[in-house]
Amino acid sequence: MLLEIKNLHVEVEDKKILNGLNLTIEKGQVAAIMGPNGSGKSTLSYVLAGKDAYNITEGDILLDGESILELAPDERAAKGIFLAFQYPVEVPGVATMTFLRTALNAQRKLRGEGEYSTPDFIKLVRETSAKLGVSQEHLRRAVNVGFSGGEKKRNEILQMAILQPRLAILDETDSGLDIDALKTVSEGVNRLRSSERSMIVITHYQRLLNYIVPDVVHVMSKGRVVKSGGKELALELEAKGYAQYTDEAA
Amino acid sequence: MNAEVRAIKTSAEQALASAYEAARAALPGKGAVAALRDEAFKRFDAKGLPHRRVEEWKYTDLRALMRDALPLAAPADAAAKAKAKDAGKIFATLNCRRLVFIDGAFVPDLSDLTPERGLTVGSMADSLAKNDALIAAHVGKVFETDDAAVALNTSLMSDGAVIHVAAGTVLARPIHLVFASGETPSAAFIRSLIVVEKDAQAIIAESHESNASQVNCALELVIGDGAQVDYFKATQTRGLHVASLLLTVGAKAAFNTFALNSDASLVRNQSFVRFAGEGSTGGLRGVNLLRGKDHVDTTMLIDHAAGHCASREQFKSVLDGQSHNIFQGKIVVKPHAQKTDTKMMTRALLLSDEAEADNKPELEIFADDVVCGHGATAGALDPGLKFYLMSRGIDDKQAEALLIQAFIGETVEEIAHEGFREAIMRAALEWLETRG
């Protein structure tokens, strides 16, 4: 297995968000995590990426059997963890190309790999962005500045395609997308599916899972995984809602 | 309100008084120039060094900061001249006409005096001695102020540059005034005069590099009708540096100033700018990079005395350690200066809890049909932005550097001249790289 989360307890400002969460992600697996608002889905994604301000009081997160709790976000990225943000931030003054290149070369350096040459890098970005419908003009602009919601999400998937993570966490990638943008983004994600890459797809609605079909579905409630099943579990949730699980967890 | 409280003279003030008394006869210029000095010294002597009760100097209390006055600089020796050849590196790649000054004194043999049509270049010491027409017309008259630092400069002004750009002349190369300092810390009173006549165009850059010296420099800059001037000033000092820009702009003219302070222990950059003719535009911008106990004070008085002029003031500071940045910007719009358009913005980025940024914008508007805006912010790096960059594999220091670069980049990008824009960004990046 690639990722193993064991009995994870997390607090933010003395408020318990995750309460003994257990989760295993196999290599090459696409796992959907669904759950009502406030169930701790986004907290889980931030904790995996290493954002501070989260206090881990108990438990562990293992990547390839090794704990990553002590690693800084950039070290986790170099180990192959990538978080596609629910709300990608705008970075005024930093051109998208500069950002992508700095990130890619920083990761390669941490892994002891050589830096990309300028022509190779430009070629890589051109090809990848064309597939995702990201224009050259967007690449010249500052990261996410003046981008629409859909363009920001597309930019996240572009970064993912350039950085080639082993574990991608997509945090509500569908939120704020119209149906066309949802299709483009999903196609981008599906192209990146491989036996070497695992994905955690966090979503509130079943809709996204019509496009990105998961291998397994986990339901989160009150900071724990309360049910796991196949992709049909998502359809059941869509029909019946989350009430049964919130009650069960109470 | 400026309270006139005269305390007993400090040792620095006493030293300045004896320095003036001793040097008076030997300073360049007799007659009208000597009278100008005497009158200025009387003004300085009455006020003393500026202190915190003088509103314009509230945050830079020279009386407290200047423990003593250093002796006036001696003529440059061979070692100082050898060192000065490498000074002004920041603008070295821009193919400028270099005019070199050591401790304020003009060094012709290190300067590029190749003749150029429409351009006259000389030393202030020579011009004062002759009290030629340009000096008589402008020195002490470009922007009259009772500021004590300017008065002190006028009393003790010893040398500097005198540049005249004739009407309609477009200078082929930028002029770079290279101010270097000798080994021995000393006091220098530098006065320059630059007159850019009607429809002429000039790019002027100043670089100041000094050790523990005390530098008081003043530039009187006259921009004629329809003229275009870009003025850059880069300052590095381990001592005290007080600079005054006295600027008058004619009609339908355009100017931009840009100041970079990096590794500057104690700097006061003050500007007195008057829009004297209609339809002109001016931009005053700058970036201050501070660490340790650096103290940089940018104070300006922008006098919109004629209508239909636009000015933009934009200053960014990055503060680390226990540094202190001050911005005081006062914009005055005179009653008849209708259709004035001004926008002033200052932003401070605090990298340390112990750093301090003071922002004081002031507007005095006496006309009714104007657009005047100002804004000021001070804050730390956004942790959300930093996390975003780090989550992509960029380490802590590099993420901060990228964000700082972006922060100052917004202002540096306003520089139209590509070479100067790149030179200033390069200098800023060097500062970032040496950040511990």
pLDDT (0 to 100) of residue B154: 98
Interface of B with A (CB under 8 A): 382-385, 387-396, 398-399, 402-403, 405-407, 409-410
Of A91, A107, A142, the CB nearest to B388: A91
The domain total for chain A is 1
Partner-chain contact A94 B407, CB within 8 Å: no
| pLDDT beyond 50 at B377 | yes
- CB distance B333 to B303 below 8 Å: no
pLDDT (0 to 100) of residue A30: 97
Partner-chain contact B394 A106, CB within 8 Å: yes
Partner-chain contact B391 A49, CB within 8 Å: yes
Partner-chain contact B406 A88, CB within 8 Å: no
**HSE-up (13 A, CA, CB side) for residue A217:** 23
Of B382, B387, B407, the CB nearest to A73: B387
Residue A231 carries which DSSP code?
Answer: T
**CA of A165: which chain B residue's CA is closest?**
B392
The fraction of chain B above a pLDDT of 90, given in percent, is 95
- CA nearest neighbour of B306 among B329, B342, B283, B280: B280
User: What confidence tier does B5 reach under pLDDT thresholds 50, 70, 90?
Assistant: low
Three-state SS for B433? Answer: helix
pLDDT in tens, B50-107: 999 999 999 999 999 998 999 999 999 999 999 999 999 999 999 999 999 999 999 9
Coarse DSSP helix, strand, coil percentages of chain A, rounded to the nearest 5 percent: 40, 30, 30
- Cα distance between residue B404 and residue B379, in whole Å: 12
pLDDT (0 to 100) of residue B436: 61
Number of A–B residue contacts, CB under 8 Å: 78
> What is the DSSP pairing of strand B161-165 with strand A15-25?
unpaired
All residues of chain A having their beta carbon less than 8 Å from the beta carbon of residue B384 are 89
**A93 to chain B, minimum CA–CA distance in Å?**
4
Containing structural domain, residue A129: 3-249
User: What confidence tier does B435 reach under pLDDT thresholds 50, 70, 90?
Assistant: confident
Which pair of structure tokens corresponds to residue A130? 């064309």
Partner-chain contact B390 A94, CB within 8 Å: no
- CA nearest neighbour of A243 among A221, A213, A223: A221
The answer to whether A68 contacts chain B (CB < 8 Å) is no
- Cα distance between residue A153 and residue A72, in whole Å: 24
The domain that holds A94 is classified in CATH as 3.40.50.300
- CB distance A74 to B393 below 8 Å: yes
pLDDT in tens, B252-281: 999 999 999 999 999 999 999 999 999 999
Residue B50 C-alpha from the chain's centroid: 18
pLDDT (0 to 100) of residue A247: 66
ipTM value of the model? 0.95
pLDDT (0 to 100) of residue B276: 98
Q: Which amino acid is at B171?
A: L
User: What confidence tier does B434 reach under pLDDT thresholds 50, 70, 90?
Assistant: confident
- CB distance B286 to B344 below 8 Å: no
**B148 to chain A, minimum CA–CA distance in Å?**
40
Crossing angle (nearest 10°) for helices A96-110 and B396-412: 160
- CA nearest neighbour of B246 among B230, B226, B270, B262: B270
The answer to whether A111 contacts chain B (CB < 8 Å) is no
**B395 to chain A, minimum CA–CA distance in Å?**
6
